[in-house]
Structures are given as structure tokens and as C-alpha cells.
Amino acid sequence: MYKKIAKEIKKYNTIIIARHIGPDPDALGSSIGLKELIVNNFPKKKVYVVGSPAARFRYLGNIDKQIDIDTKKALLIVTDTPDIKRIDGAIPNNFAKVIKIDHHPFVEKYADIELIDDKASSASQLIIEFAKKNHYKLNKTIASKLYLGVVADTNRFLYEYTTWKTLNLVSWLIKKTDLDFTNLYENLYNRSLKEIIFSGYISLNMKVTESGLAYIKLTDDIIKEYEVDASTAGNLIENFNNIDQIKVVAFCSQDKDYIKCSIRSRGPIINEIASRYNGGGHIYASGARPKNFEETDNMLNELDKICEKYK
Ligand code: AMP
């Protein structure tokens, strides 16, 4: 499969790379890292990364603007995205050929070639494996993006699906490029004081049910009062995913027309419930977008029930 993808890349002069909406460091690291990898090996190809920029993760590289190409002659590669509706900035049907490289559980087929490994820690890990298998030339900049993608999705090699293969590939990447990886963490883990104070608000105000569901519903007013945004709680959720009494954590923030929820679990499978509330994701790390707090309550009830069952 990795060789087949390399063959297609060789064929096309124009390549667009997309990833999911609301990108995280793995979505950005895998897509921008792949772009730079292709350019590094085929300097004559025109390669663009599309999607909305994410100011918070600017250190992972830039998104291309105003691309004027004939998509019917171009190759589209989508990383870290299991379904069409979550692709940011590209419509698969408009392209000559489409490739998916993803580590989410399968949702739907939208590409001609689908490389899916839902046991891989991250999409960035798949790109490292792709580079290694095809003997692509790497450099420190490419390596740093792919490394941060893996580190972010595994929460520093903590989560399940961090395997010998993850460590093997990352170790290979570091050796190959002489990557100064310890100096990369600052961007990923530095927090503003405002976020830490907001985290304090969450700790003091989240509800914990008897079955082990921790949740908080954050209104616009609270978000404004703490001078944060609708994504902040989700960015802090990993800090709440290793607490004794808690099996599932759900942070739900009002975000214009819907409620943006991040959900994490240390046992119960949550992505099936998330998918019923305009969401989805991995079995232990999901997101959902209920329409309002009433729908959010229904989702929280379902999450509470699976915690009870899990006990
Ligand atoms: P987050 O809590 O936003 O970091 O998302 C955790 C995981 O769930 C990631 O793999 C996301 O791609 C996925 N995810 C988040 N929101 C949604 C959504 N609305 N629909 C489908 N998957 C989602």
C-alpha cells in the first residue's frame, strides 16, 4: 500500500493535501509534514496544504492560500480524516485521484486508495512509515512536524496504540535526522496563565457522577469571563484523564450554533455515542457537536450509562 501511494505521488505534478476540520497537531503535522516530504523529494511538483489555519498551532507550518489549479488533473491526499463531511477545504469528487491516510476507525470510503490503520497511534506515524518504506529523503523540519503529531496524539507516548512500532519509527526518525526533539516540547505544552486559571474553574465546577462520568457544560458567558474560547476546555482535557474516580470525561463548550464537546475515556467505548450526536472519533478519544445543552444532556446520560455498565 505504501509503495502504491508513492507510485501515485510520482505520477501527479499537482498535489493537494487536506485534513479534518478543527485540526489538532496530528492533523496538521501529518498534512504539512507530508507536503514538505513530497517537496523535499520532488522539488518540481506543486504541492499545497488546504484547510482553515489554526493560529494556536502556527508553529507546525503554514496553510496555502488562494490556490488556482485544475483539480481534475490533481491528486488529493487526505490525512487523519475518516469521512467526507470532516474534510476541510477539498471535495474528493473534484479530483483525478484521491488517497486517504488515516488511523481512525473506518467510517466511509471516499478515496480510490485507502490506507487505514486504526491501531496506529497517529496519522503522523503512518507518514513516517510511508517515508521509511519508500526511502524518501527527510530533514529536521519535516521530522519535527511528524514527531509532534505523534507526541500530541499519544499524549507523550502514554495512550494505547503507542506500540513498539511507534517507538521504533520515532527512534528511526530521530536518528535519521539528528532531531533535537526535547527542544520541540515548549510549543506543544506551554500554557497561558488564563488557561490554567480556567482549568481551575473546571476542576472546581465539573460534576462527577457515581458511575465515574466527569462533565462540565461551559456557557458563552463563562468562556468570555475567563477570556478563553470554545476550544480551550478540549485542549485541557488530557489533564483530567487520569483521575482515580473518573472513567469518562466530557467537556462541553457553547460554540455559536452548537455545543463543542471533547470526550475521553479510560475504559468505556465512547465513539459510538459521540457519533449519535454529530460526532465520532476514536474508541477512547472522541468529539461531538450536539445542537444545544438539552441534546448535550441526553449524550451525557448515555455516557453515564456506559460508565455504569463498565463498572
Ligand atoms: P477532540 O476532542 O476535538 O480532540 O477530538 C478527539 C477525536 O475525535 C479526534 O480524533 C477528532 O478527529 C474526533 N472528533 C472530534 N470532533 C468530531 C466530530 N464532530 N465528528 C467526528 N469526529 C470528531
Residue nearest ligand 1's atom 20 by CA: 279
Q: Is the CB of 287 under 6 A from ligand 1?
A: yes
Residue nearest ligand 1's atom 22 by CA: 280
Cα 281 to averaged position of ligand 1 atoms, centre (Å): 5
Name the CA radius of gyration of the chain, rounded: 20
Cα 274 to averaged position of ligand 1 atoms, centre (Å): 9
Q: Give the closest residue to 258 by CA, choosing from 224, 297, 291.
A: 291
Cα 280 to averaged position of ligand 1 atoms, centre (Å): 6
Q: How much is the pLDDT for 55?
A: 87
Q: How far apart are CA 121 and CA 107, in angstroms?
A: 18
Looking at domain 2-188, what is its CATH homologous superfamily?
inorganic pyrophosphatase (n-terminal core) (3.90.1640.10)
Residue nearest ligand 1's atom 15 by CA: 287
Residue 65: count of CB within 10 angstroms of its CB: 8
Cα 204 to averaged position of ligand 1 atoms, centre (Å): 25
What one-character DSSP code corresponds to residue 165? Answer: H
**229-243 pLDDT per residue, tens:** 999 999 999 999 999
pLDDT band at 56; cut points 50, 70, 90:
confident
Cα 262 to averaged position of ligand 1 atoms, centre (Å): 7
Domain ranges across the chain:
2-188, 197-310
Q: Residues in the chain, how many?
A: 311
Q: Is the CB of 264 under 6 A from ligand 1?
A: no
Residue nearest ligand 1's atom 9 by CA: 281
Q: Is the CB of 247 under 6 A from ligand 1?
A: no
Per CATH, which fold does 197-310 belong to? Diaminopimelate Epimerase; Chain A, domain 1 (3.10.310)
Cα 155 to averaged position of ligand 1 atoms, centre (Å): 15
Q: Give the closest residue to 56 by CA, choosing from 179, 142, 148.
A: 148
Residue found by looking up cell 502514554 in the block: 158
Q: Where are the alpha helices (DSSP H) in 156-244?
A: 164-177, 185-189, 193-205, 220-225, 232-236
pLDDT above 90: percentage of residues in the chain: 96
Average per-residue pLDDT for the chain: 96
Report, in this order, helix, strand and coil percent for the chain, each rounded to 5.
45, 20, 35
271 CA closest ligand 1 atom index = 8
Are residues 99 and 111 in contact, defined by beta-carbon separation less than 8 angstroms?
Answer: yes
Q: Is the CB of 16 under 6 A from ligand 1?
A: no
Are residues 235 and 191 in contact, defined by beta-carbon separation less than 8 angstroms?
Answer: no
Phi, psi of 46 (to 5 degrees): -95, 115
Cα 78 to averaged position of ligand 1 atoms, centre (Å): 16
Q: Is the CB of 234 under 6 A from ligand 1?
A: yes
278 CA closest ligand 1 atom index = 19
Predicted TM-score (pTM) of this structure: 0.93
Q: How far apart are CA 12 and CA 14, in angstroms?
A: 6
pLDDT at 19 over 90: yes
Q: How far apart are CA 197 and CA 225, in angstroms?
A: 11
Cα 29 to averaged position of ligand 1 atoms, centre (Å): 16
**Mode of pairing for the β-strands spanning 14-18 and 280-281:** unpaired
Q: Give the closest residue to 99 by CA, choosing from 34, 180, 45.
A: 34
Task: Cell numbers for 207, please give them.
Answer: 460534576
Q: Is the CB of 82 under 6 A from ligand 1?
A: no
Are residues 57 and 180 in contact, defined by beta-carbon separation less than 8 angstroms?
Answer: no
**268-305 pLDDT per residue, tens:** 999 999 999 999 999 999 999 999 999 999 999 999 99
pLDDT band at 160; cut points 50, 70, 90:
confident
